[in-house]
Structure 1
Amino acid sequence: MRPVIIAACLLLLAPITDSWWASGSAVILDPRMVCKKNRRPRGRLAQICRNETGLLREISRGVTLGATECAHQFRHRRWNCTTQRRSMRKILMRDTRETGFVNAITAAGVTYAITRACTAGALLECSCEKGAPKSRRGKALTVPTPPVTTQSDRWQWGGCSDNVRFGLQKSREFMDSRYRKRSDIKTLIKLHNHNAGRLAIKSNMRIECKCHGLSGSCTLRTCWWRMPAFREVGDRLRDKFEGAAKVISNNDGDNFMPESTNIKQPGKKDIVYSEQSPDFCVPNAKTGSLGTEGRQCNVSSAGTEGCDQLCCRRGFTQTTVREPENCNCHFKWCCEVICETCFVKREIQTCL
């Protein structure tokens, strides 16, 4: 009976997740592959795979959300979080800072999607939170107090707070449970970066309020807890990527420490890694680098998208293209705006 249930879960998930995690590697998170490879999963992972198809669907959406945000954050860099499966598989089999970012943004995406589904009432297992938000152990969390403009202002918890507690819990159960009994450096780093991704949401929850009172007054406010926009989560994790710390295993083998004594011990919100990244300038099947030949660059930029940086000082070609745009627009009574089509020239730079 169990194989039939698992097969049904996989069929339900099939149309949703076709991301670059779905390459069949054990290090790549894809709910279909996780449940399929773990023929006899145990504990909470077993329950999720066999019985919670709705939750698996949201996990799939979270994986896709993380993949989309990763591609946005790195769209102007040598490594652009490619959707090419073989390349991403090689990236995730290593332990570079790029691997750390992918693991963090995936954990954040899964947490975000599950929490959002709870608030929307899309999952039978949870709902939005009523009253003051609580921790995993049921204790009320300390959150910022809404600003008070006058002494008569009053506020109370109400509305429908995002149930981030449930999202965090399910993200841990699905993504971390298979690694809990391991203590090698790669596993420790993976679990740390998973948690860093979740904290990018949990640590940046905000309060939203609605005023109540006669004639637009605000004698009473109802307030609830909201997650930040996922783009903000991606921005914060990209900043952590920039300041990621290289670590090594400590003497007891149960934890890690900075590679250099000049670097402070990374905190829970920081991204860590143990392997140096390739430069991603030229194709390399071993590292997963696709190179930057043929990528568009910006000759006027001194940033990561600049031709000097993106093309790895190999040079670039420049071509002129003509693009249509509206021009000579005028208003015709009534009520229409009529425009002509003009062609403007634009220079495009492409890496050699």
Structure 2
Amino acid sequence: MHTVLFVPAVYLLLILTPFSNSWWTVGSYLVMDPNQTCKRANWSRGKMADICNNKPGLLNQITKGIALGQTECQYQFRYRRWNCTTSRRSIKKVMLRDTRETGFVNAMIAAGITFQVTRACTKGEQIGCSCSKRKKKKNKKNRPPLLEGEWDGCGENIEFGIKKSKDFLDTRYRKRSDMKTLVKLHNYVAGRLAIKKCMVPVCKCHGLSGSCTLRTCTRKMPTFREVGNRLKERFDGAAKVIAGNDGQSFMPEGETIKRPGRGDLVYSEESPLYCVPNNTLGSFGTQGRICNDTSQGEEGCGILCCGRGYSTYTEEIRVNCNCTFKYCCEVQCDTCKVNKRVNICS
């Protein structure tokens, strides 16, 4: 049985499209040590090389952001046939294609870097960035400040996080217009927008005796779990695209399909079934995976086991039981043995 593997932040998930006659020709290396990545950038120029050579603090936050995106991908895909495993044998092959899974991982990585760098900026851990301030809203309808709010607080500088995410991921692709690059860059944008479009106002009241004669409002990022949930919804509704007539854009595969927006995920290749092991596709198969025989969703035995059926066994687990409240402020429980039913894909 193959399970989701977790790696420490020291490993860098770097998604590289093969290019001819360039240092990234070696393919889509993933789960890569950032030091190894930067060794390849030492002799090159550009914003990525500048980050590698001159900004170790920023590189550290980027590394953490990629690990954050990868971990969230594993959570969102925990019930899918391909579960975003970090195994090189799997993810490297998956990322060489241009499927919905590839688009989701690219979006999660771009979002993870944006989120982590922005948060580090807010905490004062990044040089060259400051909090984001917005001007006071105009009171066009003569409403009192309580209804309009005062946008003069120190908010999270999402634009700084987006810029650094672009510097590291996007800049080396800017002069290319092949289909894989266009799709990759589009999904990077979708990942960042999943944060930017979901920022929420947080307001504090100021005044005597708790009155709200003045409000100070700032904009905060959503939790990264909310970002992951939003991108998973985009994954479920991702649009298949084909190359445009101009050779520099893409369009929906079907004439009746709505053109995807900037926040939507796109792909150009159908996904494999991932039902059986296939080294070429990066599939470990689903044999031995735990499934839910009462669910009709992704985790259901019918879908996860690909129609092969499943076996059931019972295991004994220990749980808290007979809990009672003891005065004051203590809960005491017994430990009971119960049988748990487990379904395993055949």
User: How would you bin the TM-score normalised by the shorter chain?
Assistant: 0.7 to 0.9
**Structure 2 counterpart of 1:87:** 90
1:204-215 pair list within 5 angstroms: 204-215=198-209
Contact 2:13–2:67 (CA<8 Å) still a contact in 1? Answer: no
**What TM-score, normalized to structure 1?**
0.86
Q: Deviations over 1:306-352 (max 9, x none)?
A: 00110011111111112111222334556644322111111000111
Q: By how many angstroms is 1:19 displaced?
A: 5.3
Contact 1:63–1:109 (CA<8 Å) still a contact in 2? Answer: yes
Q: Distance in 1 between the 2:182 and 2:341 partners? A: 47
**Structure 2 counterpart of 1:137:** none
1:181-192 pair list within 5 angstroms: 181-192=175-186
Q: Distance in 2 between the 1:198 and 1:334 partners? A: 48
**Structure 1 counterpart of 2:104:** 101
Which secondary structure does the structure 1 equivalent of 2:48 belong to?
Answer: helix
**Structure 1 counterpart of 2:67:** 64
Letter in 2 for 1:77: R
Q: Structure 1: which 4+ aligned runs deviate by more than 6 Å?
A: none
1:112-191 pair list within 5 angstroms: 112-132=115-135, 151=144, 153=146, 155-191=149-185
Q: Deviations over 1:15-57 (max 9, x none)?
A: 7422565999643465434322223222222221211111100
Which secondary structure does the structure 2 equivalent of 1:327 belong to?
Answer: strand
Distance 1:265 1:338, change over 3 A: closer
Q: Distance in 2 between the 1:347 and 1:173 partners? A: 50
Q: Distance in 1 between the 2:15 and 2:165 partners? A: 18
Which secondary structure does the structure 2 equivalent of 1:192 belong to?
Answer: helix
Q: By how many angstroms is 1:223 displaced?
A: 0.5
**Structure 2 counterpart of 1:339:** 333
Q: Deviations over 1:267-304 (max 9, x none)?
A: 11111111110001001100111100111000011111
Contact 1:35–1:41 (CA<8 Å) still a contact in 2? Answer: no
Q: Which runs of 5+ in 1 are unaligned?
A: 1-13, 134-142
Q: By how many angstroms is 1:156 displaced?
A: 1.7
1:37 matches 2:35: no
Letter in 2 for 1:168: I
1:1-352 pair list within 5 angstroms: 16-18=9-11, 21=14, 26-28=27-29, 30=32, 31-132=34-135, 151=144, 153=146, 155-332=149-326, 336-352=330-346
Q: Distance in 2 between the 1:160 and 1:250 partners? A: 43
- 29-38 or 117-126, which deviates more: 29-38
Q: By how many angstroms is 1:257 displaced?
A: 1.1
Which secondary structure does the structure 1 equivalent of 2:73 belong to?
Answer: helix
Q: Distance in 1 between the 2:290 and 2:8 partners? A: 32
Q: Distance in 1 between the 2:170 and 2:324 partners? A: 60
Contact 1:168–1:198 (CA<8 Å) still a contact in 2? Answer: yes
Q: Distance in 2 between the 1:254 and 1:22 partners? A: 21
Contact 1:20–1:88 (CA<8 Å) still a contact in 2? Answer: no
Letter in 2 for 1:100: G
**Structure 1 counterpart of 2:4:** none
Contact 1:247–1:273 (CA<8 Å) still a contact in 2? Answer: yes
State percent identity of aligned pairs: 55
Letter in 1 for 2:28: V
Contact 1:49–1:56 (CA<8 Å) still a contact in 2? Answer: yes
Q: Deviations over 1:164-200 (max 9, x none)?
A: 1111111111100111111111011111111111111
Q: Deviations over 1:207-237 (max 9, x none)?
A: 1101112222212111011111111111111
- 245-254 or 18-27, which deviates more: 18-27
Q: CA RMSD in A?
A: 2.5
Contact 2:8–2:67 (CA<8 Å) still a contact in 1? Answer: no
Q: Distance in 2 between the 1:267 and 1:188 partners? A: 14
